[in-house]
Each structure stands twice: as structure tokens, then as C-alpha cells.
């Protein structure tokens, strides 16, 4: 685990702290012809090797640097202005997966001898339910009360409500399974404060009730999912996250 943390630290330093905006702009303009792409790769390799502080890790640091540069180049070649955000997220995810792969190689972990614990399937199912499926379910259930477009003239960020709902459900779910019940009240209070101005400004009772119903359903699904997961976990025989 500590090796993963060290390599993650090296990644954060190399990708965000020691990479000037001028390097990013030059790479986006010149792609593989940019000298800063190769400086960036070298920096990642040096940081990984230095932070791990093990001479024999040098070859792994070199592989990490080369793979990092390759992924960056793919992003530079194929990203468009409209897809830049998506490529950034995908780029970071792949970098983290590569770091994980390097850790497994260094520790000579044989994945064939491991299987996913049943608890992982329970958590995965619950988290997935609380993302897009929950948004669709709530939207369809309260569609009968959806205000007309003429009643909500102000433009919102595209899909902002959807992502806010997903995040709030995941937060509530996390609070339930970790026993931080007081934090749920804090989250509801914080959302109420931010929403209060919009709702009072609109002077629209129908919109207020619509938002309230959606919010209560969202929190309710998250709370129910959290308690169902706790119940399901209590029925399992205690196991390690990965069993041999």
C-alpha cells in the first residue's frame, strides 16, 4: 500500500505541481514534437524513483515514465475542445491504473490466486444503483409534477442537477455505512441553504415542492441503500477484502 501512496504522490507532483501551463500549451500545440512531453516523462520517472528511494526500482520507474508519456500522447492526439474534459478524466484514471499495475508487478502479486470478496459486490451494486439508475428512477417518479419550461426560465448548468443528486446520494451512502449519521443532517442543511435563495426568488410553490420531493427521494434512496448494505454485510461470514 505504501508503494502505491508514494507513486501516487509522485504522480500528483509531476502532473499538477511541477507542470507549468506553458508546458501544457506547448504539448497541445506540438504534440509528439514538443520537447516538454519528454521532459514531463523524464520528470515522472525521476520523481517515482526518488520517492520510492530504491535503486532496484529504476527499471519500474522507467516503464512508468514511458507508459505515462504514451497515455499523454494519446490524449494529445485525439482530444478535441469539446472532449477535453472527458479525455482529462480518462487520462488520470489510466495513469492511476498504471500505478496500480506497477505496484502489483513490483510486489509480484499473482492475481490468479485472488478472488473478489462478496462484500465488494454488495458495495459495487449499491454505488452503481445510486448513480444514473437512481437519477432515472427519481426523474420518472416525479415526472408528473415536473414544472413547465416556462416556469423555470433561468438556465442551469447542463446536467448539473443530475450530478448534484449523484454526489449527494454517494455522500449519504458513505455516511451511513461508516456510521457518520450526523453528517447527513449537515449535508441536508447545506443543500437547503444553497437552494433557499433560488426557491424564494422563484416565488413558485410548485417548483419548491418539486425540488423538495426530488431531494427527499434522493436522500431516502441513499439512506435505504446504506442500511440494506449494512444488513447484507451482517449476513455474510466475516472475510478479508481479498481471500486466498
pLDDT digits over 213-232, tens only?
888 899 999 999 999 999 99
Residue 3 pLDDT > 80, yes or no? Answer: yes
The pTM for the full model equals 0.73
Residue 156's contacts (CB-CB under 8 Å, 6 or more residues apart) are none
Kindly state the cell numbers that stand for 10: 509522485
User: What's residue 197's pLDDT?
Assistant: 58
What band does 237 get if pLDDT is binned at 50, 70 and 90? low
Q: How many CB atoms are closer than 10 A to CB 99?
A: 22
Residue 184 pLDDT > 80, yes or no? Answer: yes
For the chain, give the mean pLDDT.
Answer: 86
Give the whole-angstrom CA distance, residue 53 versus residue 46. 10
Give the whole-angstrom CA distance, residue 86 versus residue 34. 22
What band does 153 get if pLDDT is binned at 50, 70 and 90? very low
DSSP for residue 241: S
Give Cα 227 distance to the centre of its chain: 23
Kindly state the cell numbers that stand for 155: 438556465
What band does 244 get if pLDDT is binned at 50, 70 and 90? very low
Domain extent listing, the chain: 2-109, 116-234
Number of H helices, E strands in the chain: 10, 2
Q: Is 236 helix (H, G, I), strand (E, B) or coil?
A: coil
Residue 192 pLDDT > 90, yes or no? Answer: no
Residue range 23-62, pLDDT digits in tens: 999 999 999 999 999 999 999 999 999 999 999 999 999 9
Radius of gyration in angstroms for the set of CA atoms belonging to the chain, rounded to a whole number: 23
Amino acid at each position: 500500500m505504501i508503494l502505491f501512496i508514494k507513486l501516487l504522490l509522485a504522480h500528483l507532483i509531476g502532473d499538477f505541481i511541477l507542470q507549468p501551463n506553458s508546458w501544457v500549451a506547448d504539448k497541445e500545440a506540438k504534440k509528439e514534437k514538443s520537447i516538454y512531453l519528454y521532459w514531463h516523462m523524464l520528470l515522472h520517472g525521476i520523481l517515482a524513483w526518488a520517492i520510492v528511494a530504491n535503486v532496484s526500482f529504476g527499471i519500474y520507474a522507467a516503464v512508468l515514465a514511458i507508459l505515462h508519456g504514451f497515455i499523454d500522447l494519446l490524449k494529445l492526439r485525439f482530444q478535441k475542445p469539446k472532449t477535453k474534459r472527458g479525455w482529462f478524466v480518462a487520462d488520470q484514471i489510466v495513469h492511476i491504473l498504471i500505478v496500480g499495475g506497477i505496484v502489483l508487478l513490483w510486489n509480484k502479486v499473482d492475481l490468479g490466486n485472488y478472488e473478489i470478496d462478496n462484500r465488494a459486490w454488495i458495495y459495487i451494486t449499491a454505488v452503481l444503483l445510486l448513480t444514473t439508475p437512481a437519477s432515472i428512477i427519481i426523474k420518472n417518479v416525479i415526472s408528473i409534477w415536473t414544472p413547465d419550461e416556462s416556469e423555470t426560465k433561468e438556465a442551469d448548468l447542463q446536467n448539473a442537477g443530475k450530478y448534484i443528486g449523484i454526489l449527494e446520494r454517494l455522500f449519504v451512502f458513505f455516511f451511513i455505512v461508516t456510521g457518520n449519521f450526523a453528517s447527513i443532517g449537515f449535508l441536508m442543511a447545506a443543500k437547503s441553504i444553497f437552494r433557499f435563495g433560488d426557491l424564494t426568488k422563484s416565488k413558485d410553490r410548485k417548483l419548491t415542492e418539486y425540488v423538495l420531493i426530488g431531494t427527499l427521494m434522493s436522500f431516502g434512496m441513499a439512506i435505504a441503500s446504506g442500511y440494506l448494505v449494512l444488513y447484507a454485510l451482517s449476513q455474510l461470514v466475516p472475510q478479508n477484502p481479498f481471500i486466498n
